[in-house]
Structure 1
Amino acid sequence: MPAFKAGSWSSSGGLERDLELTDGDFTRICELIYQRAGIVLAEHKREMVYSRLAKRLRHHGLTRFGDYLVRLERQPEAREWEAFTNALTTNLTAFFRESHHFPLLAEHVRGRPGPIRIWCAAASTGEEPYSLAMTLAETLGDQAQQARVVSTDIDTDALSRASAGIYPLEQVHKLDEARVKRFFQRGTGRQAGMARVRPEIMAMVEFQPLNLLAPRWSLQGPFDAIFCRNVMIYFDKSTQARILERFAPLLKPDGLLFAGHSENFSYISKAFRLRGQTVYTRA
């Protein structure tokens, strides 16, 4: 029996497609995910779209993307819309990613009147909000248990994984040993090879689904800091500007907005001014 089998390969070197994706289908998918989540998909994302949505077509026994799209649009309230959005959402994250932000957060919250509230606007599978909670625990000591990290994401599958707080050991072991011992429990038996975030850290974080394009947001400010990192890059400039305008009143007057390393909000909105490396304050 062969050790690997993942489809047949064409003579041109690419994986043969067994499902029909026309130019019109791809254009319509781009329109729908933009309307639904503000995500802009360029032509070079076509292979990604095929591979991710192909699972949904096979789940429904369909062979043409056009039939799948017709089914979606005939049922505007169907649960499949959630699966469609989840499939096209990118969840690239890690513990203490873009590490220079966390000492800045620690300096910002140290000595502030509590309780501290932080909004993580792109929680993904939980690594970022748990990193924020660990930073608060290291900085605030016993007072950290009154702090809250409100964590939202449009991807409900990612949020389910985040709520579980369970990660492969090889991912956790990228942290320094002191943090691993302090903030994680090692799995045994069926959970061997895994680690779980300790209950006292998990208790500081709350997860809820939220679409940044929704006309109303379920959460309320004010927040000491908002982390919205590496999500604005998927939006066009007008969408970015609208979201930034909505962020501003949810921040305390001296609150901080943290952006991703490839994001620059200085020329998009007058609501914020650059304070340092991808860190903003209210204008």
Structure 2
Amino acid sequence: MDDIGPKALTGAALAAAMMVAAPGARAEPLRYIPPVSNPLFNESPLITTEVRPVFIHHDIPKGFLTGGGNVDVAAVQARVAITDRLAIIATKDGYADVHFAGVLPDDNGFANIAAGLKYALVLTDDAALTVGLRYEAPLGSLKTAGISLQGHGDGFINVFATAVKQFDRLQVQASVNANMALDSDADSSLLVGSLHANYAVTDWFYPLVEFNVFSVIDHGARMNVPFEGFDLVNFGATDGGTVATVAAGARFRIASNVLLGAAYEAPVTSRKDITSWRVYADAVISF
């Protein structure tokens, strides 16, 4: 799996484009189940008004320079439909508590803030294709031993495309992101691709599987270290690479406008960087 990189991400982009046909009349898919893992980058193609509280427990490998540790993150995403095709999205915020097993001191603080717009190019009764743009402002306070854990430059510009296709009870989604550091000397730029599939076993139970790839396409020059972060963390490392993960879990519909989700995620490449495994729990509340 170590040869996974930009080619695989290009494939995800092609998959997203191939999943939808020519633009049709406005109609949401018969049912839409959003992904659970990679909540920052794997954006919904639908135009909705919703809030999404998210909890993440992230385990750091024992082989990492700190001897292991963990990060707990609590955040709330928000999306507001302006028209049937245009929405404002706020997808990164929250509070993180970082515990290291050794070397570096523990810390806690606020995450950076990321927000932007997305526009649906295609909306039919069984498919959607959406593009978007967001800016991550370097407003966070998460540090350890004076080291900024979320970048040290002018923030990030993220350009993305995301698509979903319905096949009766099966739903497939693909997305691709370019997360570009505005100060390449300080931070690393990433290409991120995601695939998601779920199956409607019942009207309330949707098991799912997801595949995510995070690939550094422009190394930073802030830290001379052989590892990089992916979503919450950006070290500006001089030696970042590619990490692929697989997540499995389920969503549960507990009301017509409320979905609960849970998933477990772990790397499938030998390169893990700062990720041993993760668990997610969230709720999607639509209005």
Question: Which has the bigger relative contact order, CA under 8 A and spacing at least 6?
Answer: 2
Q: With the length of structure 2 as denominator, give the TM-score of the two structures.
A: 0.26
Query: Which structure: greater strand fraction?
Result: 2
Higher-helix-fraction structure: 1
Instruction: Answer with 1 or 2: which has the greater Rg.
Output: 1
Q: TM-score, normalised to structure 1's length?
A: 0.26
